[in-house]
């Protein structure tokens, strides 16, 4: 996270808004499911497109879906099947914060990601 000494919310928000790209990536970490925690000995991992996640907070709690997109600018995830209905009746994807999901299945196509997990597949 962004290291800010101040406890003022406005300064906390400003630090997140002004954070550089390599720190924004850390805002997209999500907790692993219990089975994955045991297997990889890690608590959290960066969410990538193709991971399967379960929503743990909000209106869509309990829903599970594949991550269709990752918005690094706003630190949000687009999860397949999580939508909002607009006034005119059309369905639009509902962005979800990474801290409000739990990773249930990992996409292990990336060699560097597998190495980061300790080489276990």
Tens-place pLDDT, residues 29-60: 999 999 999 999 999 999 999 999 999 999 99
Strand 76-85 and strand 64-71: the pairing is antiparallel
Three-point CA angle 54, 57, 58, nearest 5°: 115
Mean pLDDT over 59-88 rounds to 95
Distances, alpha carbon 40 to alpha carbons 46, 48, 52, 76, 93, in Å: 14, 17, 16, 24, 31
Residue 116 has what pLDDT?
Answer: 87
Kindly tell me if the per-residue pLDDT of 98 is higher than 80: yes
- Round the average pLDDT of the chain to a whole number and report it: 92
Asked if 52 and 65 touch (Cβ cutoff 8 Å), the reply is yes
The proportion of the chain whose per-residue pLDDT surpasses 90, expressed as a percent, equals 79
Kindly tell me if the per-residue pLDDT of 4 is higher than 70: yes
Residue 82: exposure state from Cβ atoms within 10 A (0-12, 13-18, ≥19): buried
* Interatomic CA distance for residues 53 and 57, integer angstroms: 12
Kindly tell me if the per-residue pLDDT of 118 is higher than 90: no
Kindly tell me if the per-residue pLDDT of 2 is higher than 80: no
Kindly tell me if the per-residue pLDDT of 120 is higher than 80: no
Kindly tell me if the per-residue pLDDT of 80 is higher than 80: yes
* Interatomic CA distance for residues 57 and 90, integer angstroms: 24
SS3 59: coil
Closest to 59 in 3D by CA, of 102, 96, 105: 96
Residue 119 has what pLDDT?
Answer: 75
Kindly tell me if the per-residue pLDDT of 107 is higher than 90: yes
SS3 72: coil
């Amino acid at each position: 996270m962004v290291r800010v000494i101040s406890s003022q919310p406005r300064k906390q928000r400003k630090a997140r808004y002004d954070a550089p790209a390599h720190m924004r990536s850390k805002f997209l970490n999500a907790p692993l499911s219990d089975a994955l925690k045991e297997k990889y000995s890690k608590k959290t991992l960066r969410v990538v497109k193709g991971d399967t996640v379960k929503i743990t907070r909000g209106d869509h709690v309990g829903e599970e879906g594949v991550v269709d997109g990752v918005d690094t600018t706003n630190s949000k995830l687009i999860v397949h099947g999580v939508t909002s209905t607009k006034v005119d009746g059309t369905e639009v994807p509902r962005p979800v914060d990474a801290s409000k999901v739990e990773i249930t299945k990992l996409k292990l196509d990336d060699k560097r990601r597998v190495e980061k997990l300790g080489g276990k597949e």
